[in-house]
Structure 1
């Protein structure tokens, strides 16, 4: 009996020892796994930025993204590109809030005119998230810096080009991407300022395309039917210019019509080569994206940066088109 009892205790001890040893071994392995997993989660990037566009699938914004991503790769930055599929203020603001809540190191966002935008930007900056506005400014906010076109100047040089390229009485129609977008408003205001005081130039009508080529064509058609005396049209966004050209061609009004567009889409350049569009305003979306990342790094590292950073803008004509000129905007 004593032998059986001793054997029972021995077996129990061995089972306990084996179980205990396995538990220790398993715990060590789990710890090794956790350490390994933790190491894998250690960021390999220097900073984490978020770029919030007006519309994620807009080709113009894709070029801004490309510039930003190239700079991010160059300087070891993690860059996220997130935002509304189509312009939507609520979704845009929500994206900004989520980015700040995720403790990103910096946010690059299109500036918005809606009254909700400035208070949110001010709040995020106050709470320690640097903000750079890009393409469209929000100069009344506490954003750290702006990178993009001087949109008033862009409209102004378009007006100057019209004055230089035309003679006699000019009755102008303007097709603008949006009545509410600040960059579109500034382009219109700049154009008006350039032609103000010129008695031979009269602005007959201003219509909104809502950044739609089809709507731009429709509005152009309606204007030319209602105001046949119109002999010049300015489109303040790239799709406007193409829509204008389509309707002018359809109505057989190319001869005697002066058209100045915006940006250098392939379709715009093709229409310029055919003599349908006379001139277009160029801007630099790739440079905007690249420079915004560079500036954000400086802001985070405590270096002083200009509060306004304008990229180059110019007016080109048919003779300025080069063989290697490619589509560079769609806004």
Structure 2
């Protein structure tokens, strides 16, 4: 048993070292350190964390933060991007705390452990800012988000374009991790935009307890032969990707339109 424990400990140690080397190499790449070791120096190191780190939406956010950070001598690192394995949001924020970064920018997912980790970061002197989704019961310093009403109006305008093509049955995927008030505001705003246009707008709550559960909910909507959905509105990047894949898998391309995040 002692030998087995020792082997497991050594294996775990090698695994941690390999992950650390991968993260270090990734950081050097973003800092501009190549073979000739030409690199920039920064006063501060901030971590940008999201479960959708490699999604196009977050690519755009990261590029903006990175460029602005350079002006302020801040290096913004996208924790969790380009890693050999996928890590949970909890593990990503733990990595950022272990790095002893100067600040954390995170999109919370509603999990209670994330609230605890935000508080832990604050207690060790790392300020945390939440974006898109808030965690008001945590010790986060501030929240930067999108106005839910305006977001619904934008979705509504895109739906109107699809309605002009003759499609009348709309289903909105509501993410269970989002606040009830935020979901209701987006949904109400969408309904306001399409009022009087003789369309049916319904909503489906997507279970976000796990990636599998959310994918299953979305696939059930798309494959249901009794469902008359012609336009599927996705409010998150993850739901958008799942919906696109399911439409292909169930041969609904051209039959069902997707308005993505």
What is the CA deviation profile of residues 197-238 of structure 1, one whole-angstrom value per residue up to 9, with x for unaligned ones? 958444456264977998688445323x122x3343323244
* Shift in CA distance, 123/98, structure 1 to aligned 2, threshold 3 Å: same
Which structure 2 residue ranges, 5 or more long, are not aligned? 1-39
> Which of the pair has more CA radius of gyration?
1
Corresponding residue of 1:125: 122
In 1: Cα distance, 2:167 partner to 2:62 partner: 43
In 2: Cα distance, 1:87 partner to 1:186 partner: 27
Corresponding residue of 2:15: none
Corresponding residue of 1:239: 241
Corresponding residue of 1:62: 59
Tell me the CA shift for residue 143 of structure 1: 1.9
Q: Which has the higher contact order (CA 8 A, sep 6+)?
A: 1
The partner residue of 1:105 within 99, 102, 105 is 102
Corresponding residue of 1:191: 187
Corresponding residue of 1:174: 172
* Shift in CA distance, 98/195, structure 1 to aligned 2, threshold 3 Å: same
SS class of match (1:182): coil
Please say if residues 153 and 187 of structure 1, whose CA atoms lie closer than 8 Å, have aligned partners that are also in contact. Answer: no
In 2: Cα distance, 1:205 partner to 1:113 partner: 20
* Shift in CA distance, 75/173, structure 1 to aligned 2, threshold 3 Å: same
In 2: Cα distance, 1:161 partner to 1:58 partner: 21
In 1: Cα distance, 2:204 partner to 2:168 partner: 15
Corresponding residue of 2:27: none
Tell me the CA shift for residue 113 of structure 1: 1.0
In 2: Cα distance, 1:252 partner to 1:242 partner: 9
Tell me the CA shift for residue 96 of structure 1: 4.2
In 2: Cα distance, 1:206 partner to 1:77 partner: 41
The two structures have a TM-score, normalised by structure 2, of: 0.59
* Shift in CA distance, 169/56, structure 1 to aligned 2, threshold 3 Å: closer
What is the CA deviation profile of residues 122-160 of structure 1, one whole-angstrom value per residue up to 9, with x for unaligned ones? 343355322122343323433222334334532343235
The two structures have a TM-score, normalised by structure 1, of: 0.48
The 5 A counterparts of 1:74-153 are 74-83=71-80, 85-86=85-86, 88-99=88-99, 102=100, 104-151=101-148, 153=150
Corresponding residue of 2:229: 230
Which structure 1 residue ranges, 5 or more long, are not aligned? 1-42, 264-331
SS class of match (1:233): strand
Aligned pair count reads 210
Tell me the CA shift for residue 163 of structure 1: 5.5
RMSD: 4.2
Corresponding residue of 1:221: 222
